[in-house]
Every structure is written in structure tokens, then in C-alpha cells.
Amino acid sequence: MLRRLFPVAFLLLPLLVAAFRPAFAAPVSDPRPNIVLLMGDDHGWDETGYNGHPYLKTPVLDEMARTGLRLDRFYSGGSSCSPTRGTVITGRHHNRYGTFAPGWSLRPEEISIARLLRESGYATGHFGKWHLGPVKSESPTNPGRMGFDEWLSHDNFFELDPWLSRNGGPPERFKGESSEIIVAEARRFIDRARRAGKPFFVVIWYGSPHEPYSGLPADLALYDRLPENFGTRKVKLTSNETGRSVERLQREVLRERFAEITAMDRSIGELRSHLAETGARENTLVWYCGDNGTPPEAVATVPFRAQKGSIYEGGIRVPGVIEWPARIRAPRITAVNAVTSDILPTLCELAGRPLPARPLDGISLVGLLEGRLESRPTPICFWDGRARADARTPYIDPELQKGTTPLAKLGPEGATRNFLNYRQTDIRPEDFAGSLAIVDNRFKLVVDGAARRGAGGGMVKELFDLRADPAERNDLAAKHPDEVARLYRQLRTWQESVLASLTGADYR
């Protein structure tokens, strides 16, 4: 009898083993990681529990920082949202393709990380804020044109019950907490990709915690008892009711902002739990960061100089943490300088994909992931520039630059969801203007950072030792003129390269 049962048991064994495997188990033959990029909107460096915030509750980010790779000197490529998002997608400084400020689009000729990974066999999806051009189907810079197979996205930012466009279609309203909504969509996309046997590249760009603020009652209740002596000044922000600027007590504003951050943090936990439940977490790289420093109305605990919109540390130092259990097996904290433009080169190396044949401003951080990189081999350059006054020929048909997804904030011409980009065919001396900075492993040179002029009308140059003085209080330019000259030469050479790109030279 037993002899007759052995052949049957042998045939059933594979089925029994499969029944106890995690759902959608990833093929073991593909060593490349799945990739999830997460970005908070206006989430400053100080606004996490692991960076010492006295009131905010961010247990998931705190756990990621405690068990993964914590990037203590991580920078946004720009001091505001659209510029930084461009550096993530392209690995290039935003001035190279005319994304000078919020509401300035990419150019269609840019080579995106999503396109590169899709060509390498990844399933690619974007969920949430885009802000690099309209998300509608006819836009030449929508997520689909930039290499995403699927997208559920917004032209700009969004609050509770968000309006989102699916794959460029008419905007739809989704009821609920916005961070949880886009993560739920991302989870479904991940499951489809795994059923198809593909590695996945997912970008989740939150609408939180950008103003105007709103939160679920349970999240708001966590911050009902902020101290009376905290946030006592009046601040300006957008009204959810009118879309126009209003003035409110900062403590009330921060209560709502903190509720948004907590909800965003919870949604990251929901994503991590899903990856674990489906067997995907071990070989999934999850990278979280902010897109710029803390905005003016929220500045209360920032330990650095300045805020969003500035190239001082308060405008460009952001939270950064990477989790990848298969390769980051022991927790580490690194003080190596890194920036959002490093994301594309890093992911290309991990996916075995050659880099685009054009100037890049980021470097691969694979050595940092593996614990081999102890200092950055090249400096990081920052530049808040502007289009020249006479460069006003649209790069893209203005009708194609008009957004469609509803949002609360209103500007002089209506909802803030339309985009610009202009052609520039030559380089003139005035094109080098703007606030600039260059950061090496010790020093940071800031040029005209406060838009000030010296007594003789010349540009102001400030030098800071960031290792000893991260708050940029002590200008050392007079003590180290050779360092000032060295860094300024590098900065000027880099600007020449950026301006050559701005003229379209990289596309020829």
C-alpha cells in the first residue's frame, strides 16, 4: 500500500511546496532588485523622529533609518519641487533642460530613468505628484512619455479626496487619505508586475505634506496638545476654502502638517508590509527622500540656515533613507554627501544599464550601498538660475502645457497647474547669474546666496566648513581664499557645461 502511495506523494510535492510559498514569489534567476522611490513634498530634514523632532510621530521612517542605510547628508538637487523631481528623473541638474522653478516642465528629449529601466525589462509605474509637465495624455512630458507604463498622477500637489488622472485620462476623484490612496494603487501595480514575472520600478511622489494642510481626525488628534509656547507666530499659507493666501497661527498649521506627515509615514508602512507579505521585500530597494527643505510657514525646528527656496542647508538638506534587506543587511549611518541626481546612475548600475551618453550631474552610490564609499569623489553643485528675459520662445506648445487636475491653490491665472519651458540658443554673461553653491567633502562655497551685493557691487562669496558648522554661521572666506578660488573655478566650469546643455547641445 505504501509503495503505491509514494509515486502519488512525489507528484503532489511541488504543489504542496507552492502552496506554502509567499504569493507572487519573485523569480530567483533575476538578481536585479525591484525598486521603489518615495518622495515627500516639502518634507524637511528636521521633520522626522529619527532626526530628533520633539513632537512628530514617524515610526516607519524611524524604523527604516534604524535598520537600513541612513543618509545624514542627503540633498535635494533643487531648492524647490519641480527642479528636484527633474534631477531624479534625469540624473541631471534642472537648469540643463530649463526646469528653473516650480511649474517649469521637462523637455521631451530628456532621457528618463523610467525609460531606461523599461527598456531593461522593468514594469514602470508612477503614482502621485508629477509636476514636470501636465499628466494629460496629449502632453509630451507626461509620465507615459517619460517611460512609465502606467500612472495615476496629478499635475501638482493634492490633499484629502484627491483628483488624479489615470494614464492621462480625465481626472477622477478618489475618496480618502491621499497617501494611502496612491500606495494602494502602487501595491496593485506591483502585484500585476510580479504576476507577469517582471521586476518593478515604482515611483510614489506624495502630495503631503505640502500646504494647504488637512488630515484625518485620528491623525489630527495626535497633535491636539502641542505646547502653548510652540508655533506662536502668524504664518501665511493657502486656504483650503478659497485657494488664496490666509494668515493663521503656526501651531494650528503645524498640527495639520504633522497629521499629513504621520499619514504619509503610515502609508509607507502599508507598502512595506505588502512587500513582506508577498515575498518581495527582501530584494526590493526602497528609497525615501524629501524634495526640498522645510517651507516658510513650517519653520519651527529647522537646525540649519534658511528654508525652502534657498541653497543654504535649510533649503536643500532633506531626509534620506534606503532599505534593501538583500544587500543592506546591517544598519548603517553615513555622512557621505549624496543628492537626488545620484539616483539615476545608481539605479542604472544596479540594473546593468549603460548610462545615457550626455552630461550627468549625479554619480552611482552602489559603493555607498556596499559600504565601500567613504567620501564623495566629486563635489555637488547647486544653482537657482532663471530664464533670460529675452528667451521667451516656448519650447512646447502652450496648449499642451496646460494642466487638468483640480487642486486648491490658485494663482493670478487660476489653478497652479500650468507649465513653462523656453528655448535658449546662445550664452551671455548674464546667464551665469543666480544663487549658487558647491559642496565638497568639507567645505561649501555659496555665491550670492542671499542675493546680496558687496560694497563695491561685486558678488558675495561665503565659505563654510560644513563638518564643523552645519548651520553655516561662520563665513571662512577671508581665512581660506585658496579654497574659495578653487571651488569657484570648479563651479564656473560646471556652469559652462550646464548652459551648453540649456541651448539644446545635448540633443544634437
Residue identified by cell 494611502 is 180
Rounded to an integer, what is the distance from CA 31 to the centroid of its chain? 26
Which domain, by its residues, includes 167? 28-378
Q: Are 131 and 161 within one domain?
A: yes
In this structure, the answer to whether residues 496 and 372 fall within a common structural domain is no
Q: What angle do CA 374, 375, 378 make, to 5 degrees?
A: 145
Strand residue runs (E) in 31-182? 34-40, 69-71, 74-75, 123-129, 150-154, 163-166, 172-173
pLDDT at 145: 98
Specify the pLDDT at position 4. Answer: 45
**Of 287, 261, 286, 265, nearest to 276 (Cα)?**
286
Q: Which CATH number covers residue 63?
A: 3.40.720.10
Judge whether 401 lies within some domain: no
Q: What's the mean pLDDT in 97-106?
A: 97
Look at the chain and report how many structural domains it folds into.
2
The string of pLDDT tens digits covering residues 453-478 is 444 456 899 999 999 999 999 999 99
Strand pairing report for 234-238 and 245-249: antiparallel
Q: Tell whether 256 and 388 lie within a shared domain.
A: no
pTM comes to: 0.93
Q: What cell was used for 45?
A: 530634514
Mean pLDDT of 271-289: 98
User: Across residues 92-111, what is the average pLDDT?
Assistant: 98
Does 153 lie in the same domain as 59? yes
Peptide bond into 212 cis (omega under 30): yes
**C-alpha dihedral, 393 to 399 to 400 to 401, nearest 10°:** 70
Residues 391 and 346 in one domain: no
Report helix, strand and coil shares of the chain as percent, to nearest 5. 30, 20, 50
Query: Residue 500's domain is classified under what CATH number?
Result: 3.30.1120.10
How much is the pLDDT for 457?
55
Burial class, 498, CB count within 10 angstroms (exposed 0-12 / middle 13-18 / buried 19+)? buried
Mean pLDDT of the chain: 93
Q: Same domain for 353 and 456? A: no
> Which of 323, 352, 378 represents a domain boundary (last residue)?
378
Same domain? For 109 and 57 the reply is yes
Q: Per-residue confidence at 449, pLDDT binned at 50, 70, 90?
A: low
Do both 147 and 172 map to the same domain? yes
Judge contact between 26 and 319, C-beta under 8 A: no
Rounded to an integer, what distance in angstroms lies between the CA atom of residue 313 and that of residue 315?
5
Residue 25 has pLDDT above 60, yes or no: no
φ, ψ dihedrals at 114, nearest 5°: -65, -40
Q: What is the pLDDT of residues 359-414, one digit of tens each?
A: 999 999 999 999 999 999 999 999 998 888 888 999 999 999 999 999 999 877 77
Q: Of the residues 310, 344, 378, which one is the last residue of a structural domain? A: 378
17 part of a folded domain: no
Grade residue 31 by pLDDT with cuts at 50, 70 and 90.
confident
Confidence of residue 101 (pLDDT cuts 50, 70, 90): very high
Using CA atoms, how far apart are residues 345 and 367, in angstroms rounded to an integer?
Answer: 12
Q: Name, in order, each residue with C-beta under 8 angstroms of 40's C-beta and a sequence gap of 6 or more.
A: 206, 208, 209, 261, 264, 288, 289, 290, 291, 319
Q: Is the residue at 434 inside a domain?
A: yes
Residue 505 has pLDDT above 90, yes or no: yes
Are 464 and 320 in a shared domain?
no
| Same domain membership, residue 389 and residue 310 | no
Are 227 and 320 within one domain?
Answer: yes
C-beta of residue 423 within 8 angstroms of C-beta of residue 395: yes
Which ranges of 230-330 would DSSP assign to H, the alpha helix? 250-277, 313-316
Please state the φ and ψ torsions of residue 358, each to the nearest 5 degrees.
Answer: -160, 165
